[in-house]
Amino acid sequence: MNMNRRTFLQTAAGLTLATPIIFAQSSAKKYRVALIGCGWYGTSDLLRLIQVAPVEVVGLCDPDKKLLATTSELVCQRQKLSKVPLTYNDYRELLDKKNFDLVLIGTPDHWHALQMIAAVDAGADVYVQKPISVDVIEGEAMVAAARKRGRVVQVGTQRKSTPHLIEVKQKVIEAGLLGKIAQVDMCCYYHMRANGNPPVEPVPNFFDYEMWTGPAPLRPFDGLPHKRWWRTFMEYGNGIVGDMCVHMFDTARWMLGLGWPRRITSSGGIFVQKEGKSNITDTQTAVFDYDDLLVTWQHRTWGAPSDPDYPWALFIHGEKGVLKASTMRADFIPYDKKASPVHFDCFYEREKYPEDVTEKGIELNAAPATRRHMLDFLAAVEKRSRPVADIEEGHISTASCILANVAMQLGRPLAYDPKKREVTGDTEATRLLRRQYRTPWKHPEV
């Protein structure tokens, strides 16, 4: 059961690259692609797509003119273009052109629903970042729109395309090495909660703050909200549960074949980092109850991780051993002292894609997974099939995390009925499934 790095890389490459290579060789179509949201991860997603498919970037959209210019320059460099893609401040103007096949959405969470629905209505297949929504009914509307229009929608939960985690699923979970599984623990102990007190200031002329805010509440402008600052406010997302738990919960569901949890409970708050503007929790636990299986989450944005090797991870506990897994590594540790542990390394592609090494802000460990995720998306587009991270699966993972926050807010367990789209026996919680939108934006209907 020992597995060294060379053996792992050979095995992982054979398992995970076969389908994408066949697809890349068989498809001659050059897809026209547009990007909405030219910040950190939107641009990163687009650059990963450019690396693996013959696409033509026909449009870029962002309310920040500086981000637009930076992404436009990068696209021209990567594709050796003499003519820059068309740029837009308002995503509706981009979508009105209908000159695209694919739309990538990398905006903050509060924009995902309206933009994805508008994109499929305009005839696009869509790659949308996680979490898919900021409230549960948005997610229901997104699934309904994708099905109504017959569009392929891939969610950026790329752990399902992460080479060493695919290997783990096959070699440990499906091989039955864990035996009976009755508990999964998930955690994030990164100090990632921005918590400053910047002063209110004038909005710079290159940034359309009104458009950036869209349907969310309009906060006083206290600096550019890009990357980490907006995530520290519940106005735009669902805190660290919505940002980080959704990845690990989606991974656990994929590995173990789980659907909707039967019941969700949560508690937490701001217990330590009280000095700044941030209104997301710095400490929180949640339990996703599957009757004979408990899936738990815990985050702290202070202190040290319980396991220094796994600060953001999931731990799958079985009667025969424990599986530790993260984006960086994985370990199966059997309880039988006579059995050998198995270690899995993260898979990098620096030699194949040397531009990764110099790209600003890239997550080198995630780049191979995103490339495979994009190839899976394109394969589904070609076959008109469901991708590995289909919008419905993204909705279950996202909505469950949102419901954890609602359970914490109300201080009681919640049982969501996806057929009735209500919290069973709880009218107050059901009202919280839909956020209020700022005028003139209209909340999507299912």
Q: What is the pLDDT of residues 252-270, one digit of tens each?
A: 999 999 999 999 999 999 9
Q: What is the mean pLDDT of residues 114-123?
A: 98
Neighbours of 416 (CB within 10 A): 25
CA distances from 64 to 9, 231, 295 (A): 41, 17, 40
pLDDT in tens, 310-336: 999 999 999 999 999 999 999 999 999
Give yes or no for residue 7 having a pLDDT over 90.
no
What is the reported pLDDT for 214? Answer: 98
Q: Is the pLDDT of residue 16 over 90?
A: no
Residue 330 is predicted with a pLDDT of: 98
pTM: 0.93
Q: For residues 41-59, give the mean pLDDT.
A: 96
Structure token digits, residue 437: 């939108």
pLDDT digits (tens, 9 = 90+) for 29-38: 899 999 999 9
**Cα separation of 73 and 65, whole Å?**
12
Q: What is the mean pLDDT of residues 135-151?
A: 98
pLDDT of residue 81: 74
Amino acid at 376: D
Query: What are the structure tokens assigned to 171, written together?
Result: 């070699």
Domains of the chain, first to last: 12-158 (3.40.50.720), 160-196+205-361+391-431 (3.30.360.10)
Report pLDDT for 171.
Answer: 98
- How far, CA to CA in Å, does 163 sit from each of 64, 176, 318? 35, 19, 23
Q: What is the mean pLDDT of the chain?
A: 93
